[in-house]
Structures are given as structure tokens and as C-alpha cells.
Amino acid sequence: MTWINFQTVRESLDVSEVLTHYGFDVKPNGQDQVKICCPFHDDHKPSCGLNLTKGVFNCFSCQTKGNILDFVARMEGFDPDQPRDLRKAAVLACEVFEIDGGSKETPADDQPKAKTKGEQAVKAAKRADTAGIGNVSPTPSAKVDATSTAPILEPDVEAVNPPLTFELKLEPEHPFLSDRKIAKELVQEFGLGCAKRGSMAGRVCFPIHDEEGALIAYAGRWASDDQADDKPRYLLPKGFEKSRVLYNLNRVIAKREQLIKKGEVVDDAIVIVEGYWSVLRLHAVSVPVVASFGASLSLQQVSLIVQAGFRKAVLIFDGDEGGRKGSEQALPVLASRLFAKMVSLEDGVKPDEMSDEFVAGLPRYVR
């Protein structure tokens, strides 16, 4: 088993070198940002932007985005959301771009075939060809029929959880929040409040953002412990795909970037809990924390954590049967991409009820 450190590989990859390798003509223009014809859809004008220093890419047309290692993975026909694929791509990237990805050993089973410089050149030339005319995708994974001459529209590029076009009017002063001793600053920072009208009426709402900070949904907690039988305690909008989002990741990323800019040495560990209240409890004391919307964790959610730069994760699901079962399933998913550990809480304890002593032992942003 080779230890591949995705972060090391990512940071070692030079965007310009990667682009040149795949046959894209990158002219230095003194700026961080370059645009290329997107290799992941049938692109006729440069729609795919890459940031040379941040090592990220984003196609404004087909919405394919990620870091530079994801880019390499896709170029090689791998799916970067699949841990096995990403690992293979990382091993290959280390070899092709002659970087040290974190280990000297190489596994026998999935070591890529060594490529000669000649083969690479042929590949690059081929890609330069197709990239130049911009109507044939070089990736086997792309959904483009290369034999067709008609412009191809991709039918399934609709983004999941698209940004909302409205904002709910929420009343921040509500006994449900003050009774729980949620500090005013937190109420403000998280934009919490009770909805008076609409489908969320009578609920304390938690605005949900994607990792880039775009508002994509509201979750509503029925604002009373007296539960009407016909009303679910928590409500999420229809069609919301919670497996693609982590609650609070936008704030964690923003705070981390802010600290890095200040020159602080940030820790690479994050805490994962089930729900909103636990996030509030831990966020208030500077624990980098996200919630997975219940006692489960998807590969996409783990991907988001890895992309945010974390290498370690502490899983703290609720101290009940659901939490324990969920942890057992989530831990291997988590451990497929980073160093993971699980903390079992006592029966009936949720992370928002954890003792100060316990919380003191959790990771913080700064080491």
C-alpha cells in the first residue's frame, strides 16, 4: 500500500506544466487566471478558468470544477470523486510530473505503466490538436460524441443544489433560540431566525450554503418542543441533495483561508457532527466543524473535506443507536480519503451537550 498524500501531490503540481503537458497553449499574461477551451465538454470558446497559484479550475459552462489533481484525474479518464480513482490519478501524476507524493514505495497492483517521454509527447500533441479546434473531448469520461458535427448540448449538467434566488425574512429574536442560550453573535453569523410565512412558517431556519458560500437552502426546525403530529421536526426543501453539502463548510474554509493569509499555521483536522446545534456549540469555541445532516456521510461530502485541505477528521455522531450505526458506516468512507477517528459519546449525549473538558480536547483551527 502506497501512502499518497493528496495534498502534497496537489501542492506539487504546477498548473502551467500540467496544461502544457496536456497540450494547452498557456501564454503568460502576468495574471493568476488563465482560460482554456474546456476539455470536459464540447467547448467552442474558452469557458474553463484556472487559477495558476491556487491550483483550481472551474468551467462556467459545464460546471466541472475542482483542484489541479482533479483536473489531471479527469484528463486521464478517472473520476476524482471516487477515492480509488483519485489515488490512481495521484500515483500517475507523481510519475508523469516527477513529484514526490509522500512515499517511496509503489504498489505492485495499481502502478501505472511507465510512460516514455515519446509517448507523452504523442499524447500531448494529440491533445493540442483536439484542444485547438475545441470540438472533440480528449477524455474517455466526457459525454461527447466525437463523430457528431452538430453542437452537442449536455442534458445532465444542471447543477445540484443551485443557489437560491430569494432570501427568507427571518425573525432573529425567538424564545426557541434564546432559551437554548444561542449567543446573539452566533444567531447573526449563521443568519438564524424564525420564519413567519411560507413553507417554513413557525420554524427556526438555518440558512445552508455551499462550500463557496452561496445560499442554497433553508432547513427549518419546528420552533417548539410540542410537536404537531403532522409536522416533521426538521424540514429540508424538496429535491435538496444533502449528500453533496456539509453544513458550515463555507465558514470553515473562509476562516481557514483568512488564517493562512495572516501567516498562521493551521491545523489539518476537522470535526464532523450530525446537526446544526452541534455545529453552533463547537463553532463558537473555534473548532473547525461541519455537519453532515444526519448520521451518515457520503463520498462526495468526504471529497469536499479533502478539497478544503483537511487531512484528518474526527467523527462525533450522536450518542444514540442511530449515531453509533451511522459512525460504523461513515468511518470507512472517511478513512478512504484521510486519517479518521471516531469519538463515541455516552448514551443520550449529543455534541452540543458535550462537556467543556471534552470540547477542550478537540482540534482547533490553529495548532
Position among 15, 18, 37, 41 found at the interface with Zn ion (CB under 5 A): 41
Segment contacting Zn ion by CB under 5 A, of 53-61, 71-79, 83-91, 265-273: 53-61
Applying CB under 5 A, does 152 fall inside the site for Zn ion?
no
- Of 49 and 191, the one with the shorter C-beta distance to Zn ion is 49
What does residue 179 show for φ and ψ, rounded to 5 degrees?
Answer: -60, -30
The whole-angstrom separation of Cα 34 and Cα 47 is: 10
Give the count of residues interacting with Zn ion (CB under 5 A): 6
Q: Is residue 135 within 8 Å of residue 42, measured between CB atoms? A: yes
The whole-angstrom separation of Cα 218 and Cα 339 is: 31
Applying CB under 5 A, does 59 fall inside the site for Zn ion?
yes
Among residue numbers 60 through 89, which ones bind Zn ion (CB under 5 A)? 61-62
Shortest CB 144 distance to Zn ion, Å: 10
Segment contacting Zn ion by CB under 5 A, of 18-26, 32-40, 145-153, 255-263: 32-40
Applying CB under 5 A, does 50 fall inside the site for Zn ion?
no
What are the grid coordinates assigned to 102, written together?
509522500
Shortest CB 41 distance to Zn ion, Å: 4
Applying CB under 5 A, does 38 fall inside the site for Zn ion?
yes
- Of 59 and 170, the one with the shorter C-beta distance to Zn ion is 59
- Of 44 and 231, the one with the shorter C-beta distance to Zn ion is 44
What are the grid coordinates assigned to 184, written together?
446573539
- Of 143 and 312, the one with the shorter C-beta distance to Zn ion is 143
Shortest CB 79 distance to Zn ion, Å: 16
Residues composing the chain:
367
Helix (H) or strand (E) segment spanning residue 325: helix 321-335
| Packed helices 83-96 and 68-75: angle between N→C axes, nearest 10 degrees | 90
Residue 107 contacts by C-beta under 8 Å, 6 or more apart in sequence? 1, 2
Shortest CB 143 distance to Zn ion, Å: 11
- Of 57 and 293, the one with the shorter C-beta distance to Zn ion is 57
- Of 41 and 281, the one with the shorter C-beta distance to Zn ion is 41
The whole-angstrom separation of Cα 343 and Cα 186 is: 25
Segment contacting Zn ion by CB under 5 A, of 34-42, 260-268, 319-327, 354-362: 34-42
| Secondary structure of residue 72 in the 3-state scheme | helix
Shortest CB 299 distance to Zn ion, Å: 22
Nearest alpha-carbon partner for 282 in 224, 214, 351 = 351
Q: Is residue 291 within 8 Å of residue 273, measured between CB atoms? A: yes
Shortest CB 163 distance to Zn ion, Å: 19
- Of 73 and 345, the one with the shorter C-beta distance to Zn ion is 73
- Of 18 and 273, the one with the shorter C-beta distance to Zn ion is 18
What are the grid coordinates assigned to 15, written together?
498548473
What are the grid coordinates assigned to 140, written together?
474517455
Segment contacting Zn ion by CB under 5 A, of 55-63, 121-129, 214-222, 227-235: 55-63
CB-CB neighbours of 175 under 10 Å = 10
- Of 146 and 254, the one with the shorter C-beta distance to Zn ion is 146
Position among 22, 40, 71, 276 found at the interface with Zn ion (CB under 5 A): 40
Q: What is the DSSP letter of 7?
A: H
Shortest CB 57 distance to Zn ion, Å: 9
What does residue 204 show for φ and ψ, rounded to 5 degrees?
Answer: -80, 125
| Packed helices 299-307 and 321-335: angle between N→C axes, nearest 10 degrees | 60
Binding site for Zn ion (CB under 5 A): 38, 40-41, 59, 61-62
